[in-house]
Amino acid sequence: MRQVVLLRLSALGDILLSEPVPRWLKDEDPSCQVVYVTRQRFAQVVRGWPAVDRVLALPDRISTEDLRTLRRDLKLLGPHSRVDLHNTLRSHRIWPRAHARLPKHRLQKWLLVHGKALPASWRKDSMPVWRRYLELAGCLNPSEHLHPRLVVQGEVLRHGAARHDVLVPGAGFATKAWPEARWLDFLPLLLERGGPPILILGGAGEQVLGRRLAAMDPARVRSLCGETSLEESARLVAQARSVVCGDTGLLHMADAAGVPGVALFGSTTRELGFYPLGQRLRVLERELPCRPCSHVGRVRCPLGHQDCLAGISARQVLEALELSLERVEGTSC
Ligand code: SF4
C-alpha cells in the first residue's frame, strides 16, 4: 500500500490551495494512504478533507520533543513518500530528507520584487500555486475537476444561500489590507444600496475596526472578528451573497466556493501565484512601478503611502461589486 505524507505548516491560503493534492492522490490510487502534517490551528481544516486519512498536528512553537514525537509517528507509518509543500528552514528542520520539495524560485521572486522583471523562460513557474503543489505530487495536467474546493467536515461548500454580504478588512500583512479609512468610506455606500445583512469577518486584530464598522448601522452590520473558527468562517463565506477582501485566506475560501465579490490586490501580484481562479471575483489592483514590493506582504509600505491600495476608492470597489453581482445574479446591490 502506497503512503504519502504531505507537509504544509501555514498559511491558511496555502493550505486551502493544497486541497487538490490529496484528492488527486486518491483518484490515482484509492488505496493510497494520505497523511498531512500541519500546524495545530489549521488541523481542523485538513481533517475535514475526505482524501486525508490522518493529520499530524504541530504547535506554533515546535519543541525538540514535538519533533521527536512526529518522527516517531512517521517511523511507525512504515515506508512512505515525503512531499514538502512548504520548503522553508523549518520544514527542512522537520524533514532533513524529503522525497520532493516545492521549488521556491527565490531568484525569480527576487527579480520580480527588486527588478520588476519576469524572465520569459520562467513564465511557466508563474502558474498558480495550487498547480505547483499538484505538479510536485506528480500531476502535470490537472483537469478542472482538480480546481481547489472549499471542503468543511467532508462537505463541499458552494455558493448558494446569499444570506449576507461579507467584508474582510484584515490581511496577514498590512500592505495586503485596504486601509481602514477606505473601509469607513465604503460601508456607508454599501448600506445606501440596501441589501442583506453585512458581516465583518477577521481575526482579533480587526476587532476595533470591526466594531467601528458595525456601529454605523448596528441593525444591519455585525462584526464577528475574532469570534469565529475557521470552519465557521468558511460556512459564512460560502453562504454570502458577496465578499469584499484582500489577498487573504478568506479570499481563497470565497474563490473555491464560487462566491462573487471583489478582491483587492496591493503589494502582491498575479505572478506570485495567489490570484483568484474563478471568474466571479473581480480583482481590483493598480498598475504601479513599485508593485510587487514583496512576495508575501510587508508590515508597512516602504514608500510610506500604500498607494497600491489607498489609491483604490470606495466607489471603485462598489462599482466592481455591482458588476460582479450583476454577472452572477442579474441583480445589483
Ligand atoms: S505602494 Fe508600492 S511600495 Fe507601497 S505597499 Fe504598495 S506595492 Fe508596496
Output the tens digit of pLDDT for each of the chain's 333 residues.
899 999 999 999 999 999 999 999 999 999 999 999 999 999 999 999 999 999 999 999 999 999 999 999 999 999 999 999 999 999 999 999 899 999 877 777 777 787 776 666 555 456 789 999 999 999 998 998 999 999 999 999 999 888 999 999 999 999 999 999 999 999 999 999 999 999 999 999 999 999 999 999 999 999 999 999 999 999 999 999 999 999 999 999 999 999 999 999 999 988 787 889 878 999 999 999 999 998 889 999 999 999 999 999 999 999 999 999 998 776 555
Domain end marker among 118, 148, 178: 148
Backbone angles phi, psi at 179, to 5 degrees: -60, 150
Q: Which cell goes with 200?
A: 465583518
How many whole angstroms from 314 Cα to the centroid of ligand 1?
19
> How many domains, in total, are found in the chain?
2
Q: How far apart are CA 154 and CA 82, in angstroms?
A: 24
Cβ–ligand 1 contact at 300 (below 6 Å): no
In a shared domain, residues 21 and 168: no
pLDDT of residue 122: 56
Single out the residue of 224, 262, 215, 264 nearest to residue 243, CA to CA.
262
Task: Judge contact between 116 and 94, C-beta under 8 A.
Answer: no
Note whether 63 and 209 are same-domain residues: no
106, 130, 148 — which closes off a domain? 148
Please report the atom of ligand 1 found closest to the CA of residue 292: 7
Residue nearest to atom 1 of ligand 1 (CA): 306
Are 187 and 300 in a shared domain? Answer: yes
Contact criterion met (CB below 8 Å) for 171 and 295: no
- Tell me, what's the pLDDT at 127? 76
Same domain, 325 and 177: yes
The rounded Å distance from CA 18 to ligand 1 centre is: 28
Same domain, 113 and 12: yes
Q: Say yes or no: CB of residue 223 within 6 Å of ligand 1.
A: no
Residue-level pLDDT at 271: 79
Same domain for 201 and 257, yes or no, is yes
CATH of the domain at 122: 3.40.50.2000
175 close to ligand 1 (CB < 6 Angstrom): yes
Q: What is the number of the ligand 1 atom nearest to the C-alpha of 300?
A: 5
Q: 145: which DSSP letter?
A: G
Residue 312 CB–ligand 1 contact under 6 Å: no
Q: Which domain holds residue 274?
A: 156-329
**Residue at a domain's end among 132, 148, 164:** 148
Whole-prediction pTM value? 0.91
Which long-range contacts (C-beta less than 8 Å, at least 24 apart) are formed by 158-163? 158/238, 158/257, 158/258, 159/238, 159/240, 159/257, 159/258, 159/259, 159/260, 159/280, 160/238, 160/239, 161/238, 161/239, 162/196, 162/239, 162/240, 162/241, 162/329, 163/196, 163/197, 163/239, 163/240, 163/241
Task: Specify whether 172 is located in the same domain as 104.
Answer: no
pLDDT value of position 178: 98
Q: Extract the C-alpha cell encoding 70.
A: 512526529
* Residue 269 in contact with ligand 1 by CB distance below 6 A: no
Cis peptide before 292, with omega less than 30 degrees from 0? yes
Residue 303 in contact with ligand 1 by CB distance below 6 A: yes
Going from the Cα of 303 to the center of ligand 1, the distance in angstroms, rounded, reads: 7
For ligand 1, whether the C-beta of 293 sits within 6 Å is: yes
CB-based burial of residue 136 (10 Å sphere; 0-12 exposed, 13-18 middle, 19+ buried)?
A: buried
On whether both 144 and 9 belong to a single domain, the answer is: yes
- Do 63 and 204 lie in a common domain? no
pLDDT at residue number 118: 67
283 DSSP β-pair partners: 263
- Based on the fold, state whether residues 144 and 160 are members of the same structural domain: no
Residues 232 and 302 in one domain: yes
